Amino acid sequence: MSYPPQLALVLVRLFVVMMFVVHAWVGDDAFITLRSVDHFVEGRGLVWNLGERVQVFTHPLWMFLLAGGYLLTHEPFYTTLFISLAVSVGVLVVLERGLKPEPRTLLIIYLSLGLSRCFVDYSTSGLENPLTHLVLALFAVLLYRKAPLFQLSLVAALAMVNRMDSALFFVPALAGISYVGLREEGKAFLPTFLKAALLGGAPFLAWEFFSLIYYGSLVPNTALAKLNHGYPSWQVWRQGGLYFLDSLIHDPLTLVMIFGSLAVAHKSKERASKYLAVGVGLYLLYIVRIGGGFMSGRFFSAPLLVSLAIISRTKLGGWRGSYPVFALTLILGLVGYNPPPLFNSDRNIEKAKIGRWGIADERRFYAPSSSLFALGIEDDGPNYKWRRKGEGFNGEPREGQLRRVYRAANIGFRGYYADKEVHLVDPLALADPILARLPARRKVYWRTGHFARWIPPGYTDSIRTGEVQLDDPKLGELWTKVELITRGPLFAPERLAAIWELSGSGYNKYVTYDTYRYGGAPRTTPAALRKNLEDKEKAAQAKRKADKRKAAKKRKAAKKRLRKARALGLHAPPETLDPKQVQRELPDPPGESPIEAEKDGADTDEPESKARGIKFVGNGLYVDFDAPRTASSFEVDLSDHGSYRFDFLLDGKLVADTTQDPKLPKKKRLQSIKVKVPVDAQASGYDSVRILPLSGKRPYYCGEFQLEDAAH
């Protein structure tokens, strides 16, 4: 290699490492794992809430790596950053030394890694991405070197211990190699296959066995919390598509490289490239299937790494012919950064907001308070507001209580910095084994990974005292069984029986779906709605009269003050009076001036909009009747800024539903809608109508509800 290319490689290596360091940060989600790490290192078990065996992390191998560092330092922030940076640098070494791409291709790979916003952001963050990158790079190296199936299986198993869904990257290669071996060697290949499956897969099999015995589940609690949401598949697929679109807008280089590698693999003659490309394709489909994520680009860093491994096998032309590729890489990469790379100022950076699709630039959201260069020498870790909230969860248990219990979402900083004896009830259910088994409370617009549950009455009291105090007897049975699984003796026969019973979806028989899907939705009747409107109208009339009296007093006082002002020599018309001059000559009472008083009184005669009805949000509103009805239609006053679905219920069971988009002018007031009752509901009768908003911003309002007739 000539001197200039060698110098270019040195500079680009330095650039990538500097990007990792300058953008180093740790997010709130990492501290969810770190609370479990602290419990584990201090001998309290692999738990999150003290004494409750619940797996709140999706990355056991990464957790053990963090625990090793934490054992030495007992410090969460800088320890996590150091481990993340060390592993990320290791990824670069494995890619370069293991795959040995030609210099021009290596430059493209390094530029892509350094300018990919998702790869740089999640080379730290405290999440498992760096370790996922490392094992994927190792697998690619072994695959291209045609390593034995056992070695490939071992690396794949370690990757699955790090994150279970990474199996999609490895299945095509392992299945393809096994198929070729069985076809070519026949039964002679079986010992090799069994060795790879049983011994190579031992790390993953061992973890799953431990997880089943210790936690009572083969999957982490977070999987239940995030996938047991109850939203229709088409909404999830749409959200997954929006996740791709968000990345294309904010980090175009990443997706261009990923899809470009698929084209490269298609033309390649190497089976390894084709296996890896199929794995990337499966993972991309998986991203869409789960609705993407709420962290912009996070799930694309692993596919990018594999894609660059595929690209590493290509050979570009001469240096001059490679310039267009370099230029395109630079242009696409720089689009994703604002401010430009290496000109980062996390102390003064504007905090990111959650985007309209529920996707956020997670690093920029936390960077001002939890990135390496935002903290001062005196800081001992993130100074985000949720940390202070957690530090406030102190004090002794209330009289008669066994545990200190608080409700708190965003449980990373809060949980780690709270007293370790504090029990946090997480509405998002990431750390709660019972709430995770309930459907998410319905919303019109939802965020992937943020599926809040309705907290059942008596739930926190049950946790405080350790005794069932739930209003729902069926849920009480589930609570007892989950308590046995998470707190009971590991090998008690009744615990093992409970694990078997609740495996899969066995817990559904204890959950009344609608109760928790629409939990907390207000209930009313047509008469109550009518009375509510009448009461609000009376209150509005009383307020208008009071405002008129107040305005009249202001006008009278203003005229009196103007006369006094003119007596002092201020003879200008009222509309040209200088309030400051009047103030100097004759101070006004606090908060009032003659001109302001005239202005206030001018608006009092304007008509007020129609009084609003009962307020409700995404979980809907129930309108109940004293007996089953068979009316064929009804009129209802609803907010005009959305469309609605009407569910017709009989004894709590759905008999029919209909959707209506009123297409009314959006004046932010109540508008009357006529709804035709479905034939099935007329035939069976209905004793309740559930009104569910389908669009528009909350809150929504319901005014009068009038059936067409009073038929029973």
Q: How many residues are recorded in the chain? A: 712
- Rounded to an integer, what distance in angstroms lies between the CA atom of residue 547 and that of residue 559? 18
pLDDT exceeds cutoff 90 at 494: yes
Q: Which H or E run contains 626?
A: strand 621-629
Q: What is the mean pLDDT of residues 419-430?
A: 93
**For residues 610 and 153, which has the higher predicted lDDT (pLDDT)?**
153
What pLDDT does residue 604 have?
33
Structure tokens given for 445: 């617009």
Domains assigned to the chain: 3-335 (no CATH), 423-517 (no CATH), 529-602 (no CATH), 614-707 (2.60.120)
Residues 651-668: pLDDT tens digits?
Answer: 999 999 999 876 655 665
Find, among 24, 44, 73, 48, the residue nearest to 416 by Cα.
Answer: 48
Q: Which H or E run contains 638?
A: strand 633-639
- Rounded to an integer, what distance in angstroms lies between the CA atom of residue 176 and that of residue 103? 31
CB 276 within 8 A of CB 287: no
CB 90 within 8 A of CB 137: no
What pLDDT does residue 343 have?
63
The model's pTM is: 0.87
- Rounded to an integer, what distance in angstroms lies between the CA atom of residue 631 and that of residue 680? 12
| Edge-to-edge strand list for the sheet holding 644-650 | 523-524, 621-629, 686-693, 644-650, 653-660
Find, among 380, 379, 382, 378, the residue nearest to 370 by Cα.
Answer: 382
- What lies within 8 Å, CB to CB, of 79 at 6+ separation is 66, 69, 70, 72, 73
Position 4 confidence tier, pLDDT thresholds 50, 70, 90: low
The amino acid at residue 98 is G
* H helix intervals, 576-664: 579-585, 594-602
How much of the chain is in helix, strand and coil states, percent to nearest 5? 55, 10, 35
pLDDT exceeds cutoff 50 at 57: yes
Alpha carbon distance, N-terminus to C-terminus of the chain: 90
pLDDT exceeds cutoff 80 at 344: no
Structure tokens given for 514: 């609608």
Backbone dihedral angles phi then psi of residue 552, each to the nearest 5 degrees: -60, -40
Position 539 confidence tier, pLDDT thresholds 50, 70, 90: confident
Kindly give the pairing relationship between strand 686-693 and strand 644-650: antiparallel
**For residues 12 and 403, which has the higher predicted lDDT (pLDDT)?**
12
Q: What is the mean pLDDT of residues 495-524?
A: 92
Find, among 238, 241, 614, the residue nearest to 445 by Cα.
Answer: 238
- What lies within 8 Å, CB to CB, of 314 at 6+ separation is 105, 264, 268
Position 584 confidence tier, pLDDT thresholds 50, 70, 90: very low
CA dihedral (488, 494, 496, 502) positive or negative: negative
Residues 605-636: pLDDT tens digits?
Answer: 333 334 578 999 999 999 999 999 999 999 99
pLDDT exceeds cutoff 80 at 346: no
pLDDT exceeds cutoff 80 at 641: no
Q: What is the CA radius of gyration of the chain?
A: 32
Most confident of 82-91, 178-187, 516-525: 82-91
Position 588 confidence tier, pLDDT thresholds 50, 70, 90: very low
SS3 637: strand
HEC secondary structure over 73-113: HCCCHHHHHHHHHHHHHHHHHHHHHHHCCCHHHHHHHHHHH
Residue 475 burial (10 A CB sphere; 0-12, 13-18, 19+): buried
CA dihedral (155, 159, 162, 167) positive or negative: negative
Least confident of 145-149, 314-318, 381-385, 426-430: 314-318
DSSP string, 253-276: HHHHHHHHHHHHHHH---HHHHHH
Find, among 126, 150, 168, the residue nearest to 36 by Cα.
Answer: 126
Least confident of 26-35, 383-392, 419-428: 383-392
Backbone dihedral angles phi then psi of residue 710, each to the nearest 5 degrees: -105, 30
Structure tokens given for 369: 């308070």
Structure tokens given for 297: 């680009």
pLDDT exceeds cutoff 90 at 394: no
Residues 250-268: pLDDT tens digits?
Answer: 999 999 999 999 999 999 9
